Amino acid sequence: MSAERWMQNWQTRFAHLRVEIVVADVAQSSLFLDIAERRVVLAPSLRLSTAEKMLAAVYQWWKHQPESARVACAFS
């Protein structure tokens, strides 16, 4: 699977949660969650296998949060 297709698959999965996934420079972090903005930011240097594990964990976490927690919290 190409990296573009892999990214599209994750964007589709998160879309039903109304969460956006972007790839951008996130300083020293490999992943940044902006809960208030409903955004997951991946560092471009992440290997796909690492990003896969991280996104799977974030997806499971986000899926089980009450709506108030999804909007009120932010962490990196």
pLDDT digits (tens, 9 = 90+) for 22-74: 998 876 678 888 888 889 999 988 889 999 999 999 999 998 877 655 444 44
We find that the CATH architecture of domain 3-72 is 2-Layer Sandwich (3.30)
Collect all residues with Cβ–Cβ distance below 8 Å to 19 and sequence separation of at least 6: 38, 39, 40, 62
Mean pLDDT over 15-28 rounds to 85
Across the range 8-25, mean pLDDT stands at 91
pTM strictly above 0.85: no
The structural domains of the chain, with segments of one domain joined by +, span 3-72
Residue type, 64: H
Single out the residue of 49, 2, 63 nearest to residue 40, CA to CA. Answer: 63
